[in-house]
Amino acid sequence: MFGRTRRSVRARLAETGLPAGLQDFIARLVARTRLRRDEQMDIAAELSSHFREGLAVGKTADALLASYGEVARSARELRAGAIAKRGPLDRAAGTLMKWSGVGVAVVSVAYLASAAVLYSREPVIAFDARAAANARIPTAGPEGRALDIYIAALADENGRYREEWLGECLTAIEDALLKLDADASAEAEAKAAVRASFADMRGTIDVLRGVRSRPALGLGIEADGLTDDAAVRFFGADALQIADPHRSNSPLASSVLSIGLPQAAMLRRCAKILCFDARIAAMDGRGDDFILSIEAALAAGGHAGEQGFLISRLVEAGIRSMVLETIERAVARNPSAFDDAQFAQLEQIARSQHTDFAVALESEWHLLRDVVQRCYSDDGRGDGVLLPRAFGLLMRDLSSWSGTDGASLGAVRGSAAMEFLAGPLAATVSPSRREVEDRARAYFTKAIAVVSAQTDEEHEARRREFDAIATEPSRSAGGLLEMVMPALDRTLEHPRKLELAAERTADAVRAVRARRSEVNAAAQ
């Protein structure tokens, strides 16, 4: 638009026949007025007429230019005169646009300054979530830690976990037991195949039974990297800790989220093999060995849930459920393997199975607090605003740790630009730190109440209260609560399911015991 106006002015000046120096001077002067096209054309015509008159009386072009005066001042006066000729509404609209532009410029500068401040701010890590998690983990007593037994049973000559070997043994045993269940007519042959599959595991199982006397696994959550050389050698540093604070600049490097739980899968496999061993003991009529393996499997379950995270407790609950199924199956199919005292012991074992999910939910609350403090500012009074750069880094780390393909360099740069520009807007529209934590605190308080219920009626009432708060519209940052712990509500039924399974198994043991007592009494 402005180029077209300049070309039109110069075309009009070319028609005047003025010297090139005067044409150029008039064109530059008219351009400095910043007026509309028709107004610039009128001023160009007036100036051309003025200079033609000077030339007509014998003045030179240089003399006319020298006598003209200050260009900037002349341009301002010409602009003011042209604007004064406009109508009242026209002038009002122009004034409004002028000050609107000034306002937009001021707001833009203030916004960019605020964005720069927010982009440069770093989260304040005040809550030590690792210390809070570590405080809940029991320490080993004079008997020693159970981890040393697992290492002795499952490590190779270099102290590394023989994961592949354990998986192969477990598969062979499971296949043999499936064939035994499927072909009852060939029981002797199938039992021989099962015993053969256990041949390579017999020494390992005997060692694993030793965990019964060691209630503490002994694998703590260390605040400053990993110093347990045996655990690092056994599992591998990358498995125990996704990002070491000494080797990574990730915002999650020292967080609870960076802690790996490789022991969970290992302990579940150990418990499964011990349960399979218990099944063989029941088939062979070895009730004492059955109970030894069952107790060792339950010890592995306790070790799996020792760190107190929700996933840890879920693994523990799964192991305890597996043990209950093994007991129920054994007393139903091989009741002659047990005497009356062993039946009583099995009933007591079954009724004692439960998992403390309240501790797990408290751990998840601490985990969320740890995540929040890593992407929010801290005003020193428990409140703060979302920091888009920190939030973006955190989300990218979570995405990369979960196996999602990393963004290209261009996408990362684009994300950084968006995080910079979105800072003030995110701080305004996103919930504050206090709002996020208050919602999460209420959420976990209700969840803990559900898993702590003592009766079915109390459980149902508290579940309704939890569902009411869980379905409330959430304004949490990027759905932070839902993102970090999706489907948390579905885990609340696990404690009750485990209790019901324990009662069912204990009742089954009691019923078989009672029937056998009746048969023995009738025989006598």
**Residue 71 lies inside a defined structural domain of this protein:** yes
Q: Look at residues 114, 139, 172 and tell me which one is the last residue of a structural domain.
A: 114
pLDDT at 408: 42
- Give the span between the Cα atoms of 171 and 179, in whole angstroms: 12
Most confident of 179-193, 314-328, 362-376, 395-409: 314-328
Task: With a cut of 70, say whether residue 466 has pLDDT above it.
Answer: yes
Question: Considering the chain, what is the average pLDDT of its residues?
Answer: 82
Task: With a cut of 80, say whether residue 395 has pLDDT above it.
Answer: no
The alpha carbon torsion through 26, 32, 35, 36 (nearest 10 deg) reads: 60
Q: Which domain holds residue 273?
A: 131-326
Task: With a cut of 70, say whether residue 401 has pLDDT above it.
Answer: no
Q: Look at residues 58, 88, 114 and tell me which one is the last residue of a structural domain.
A: 114
DSSP assigned state of 235:
H
User: Are residue 232 and residue 361 in the same domain, yes or no?
Assistant: no
* pLDDT tens digits for range 62-102: 887 777 777 788 888 787 877 777 778 866 776 778 778 78
Segment holding 22, helix H or strand E: helix 20-33
211-215, 256-260, 368-372, 462-466: segment of lowest average pLDDT: 256-260
User: Are residue 381 and residue 295 in the same domain, yes or no?
Assistant: no
**Residue 400 lies inside a defined structural domain of this protein:** no
3-state secondary structure labels for all residues of 143-154: CCCHHHHHHHHH
Cβ-contact 166, 269 below 8 angstroms: yes
Quickly count helices (H) and strands (E) in the chain.
Answer: 24, 0
Tokens of 513: 């015991």
Positive or negative, the CA dihedral 206, 207, 210, 212 is negative
**Residue 195 lies inside a defined structural domain of this protein:** yes
pLDDT at 371: 85
Q: Which candidate, 24, 28, 2, 4, places its Cα nearest to that of 14?
A: 24
In 3-state terms, what secondary structure has residue 427? helix
**With b meaning 16 or more CB within 10 Å and e meaning fewer, what string describes 80-90?**
eebbeeeeeee
User: Are residue 66 and residue 141 in the same domain, yes or no?
Assistant: no
Cβ-contact 232, 374 below 8 angstroms: no
Q: Look at residues 277, 303, 326 and tell me which one is the last residue of a structural domain.
A: 326
Which residues, in sequence order, are CB contacts of 233 under 8 Å at separation 6+?
158, 159, 160
**Residue 421 lies inside a defined structural domain of this protein:** no
Tokens of 288: 């004492």
User: Are residue 208 and residue 356 in the same domain, yes or no?
Assistant: no
User: What pTM, to 2 d.p., does this model score?
Assistant: 0.76
- Give the span between the Cα atoms of 398 and 53, in whole angstroms: 79
Mean pLDDT, residues 430-437: 86
Beta-bridge mates of residue 259:
241
**Residue 265 lies inside a defined structural domain of this protein:** yes
How many folded domains does the chain comprise? 3
Most confident of 14-28, 41-55, 298-312: 298-312
In 3-state terms, what secondary structure has residue 354? coil
pLDDT at 297: 96
User: Are residue 96 and residue 171 in the same domain, yes or no?
Assistant: no
**Residue 464 lies inside a defined structural domain of this protein:** yes
User: Are residue 363 and residue 498 in the same domain, yes or no?
Assistant: yes
Which residues, in sequence order, are CB contacts of 511 under 8 Å at separation 6+?
none
Beta-bridge mates of residue 206:
none
38-47, 141-150, 282-291, 357-366: segment of lowest average pLDDT: 38-47
User: Are residue 231 and residue 96 in the same domain, yes or no?
Assistant: no
Task: With a cut of 80, say whether residue 492 has pLDDT above it.
Answer: yes
Backbone angles phi, psi at 338, to 5 degrees: -125, 140
DSSP assigned state of 307:
T
Task: With a cut of 80, say whether residue 458 has pLDDT above it.
Answer: yes
User: Are residue 257 and residue 161 in the same domain, yes or no?
Assistant: yes
User: Are residue 45 and residue 100 in the same domain, yes or no?
Assistant: yes
Most confident of 47-56, 164-173, 268-277, 366-375: 268-277
Let me know if 464 is exposed, middle or buried by CB neighbors in 10 A (0-12, 13-18, 19+).
exposed
**Residue 447 lies inside a defined structural domain of this protein:** yes
User: Are residue 380 and residue 495 in the same domain, yes or no?
Assistant: yes
pLDDT at 473: 57
* pLDDT tens digits for range 240-253: 665 555 555 566 66
Residues in the chain: 524
Q: Is the pLDDT higher at 232 or at 293? A: 293
CA count, 13 A, side-chain hemisphere, 298: 22
127-141, 231-245, 323-337: segment of lowest average pLDDT: 231-245
Q: Is the pLDDT higher at 469 or at 483? A: 469
pLDDT at 302: 94
Per-position DSSP letters for 32-68, written without gaps between them: HH---HHHHHHHHHHHHHHHHHHHHTT--HHHHHHHH
Task: With a cut of 90, say whether residue 260 has pLDDT above it.
Answer: no
Tokens of 251: 């915002």
pLDDT at 390: 80
- Give the span between the Cα atoms of 231 and 155, in whole angstroms: 11
pLDDT at 209: 94
- Give the span between the Cα atoms of 65 and 320, in whole angstroms: 101
User: Are residue 317 and residue 437 in the same domain, yes or no?
Assistant: no
**Residue 124 lies inside a defined structural domain of this protein:** no
User: Are residue 146 and residue 276 in the same domain, yes or no?
Assistant: yes
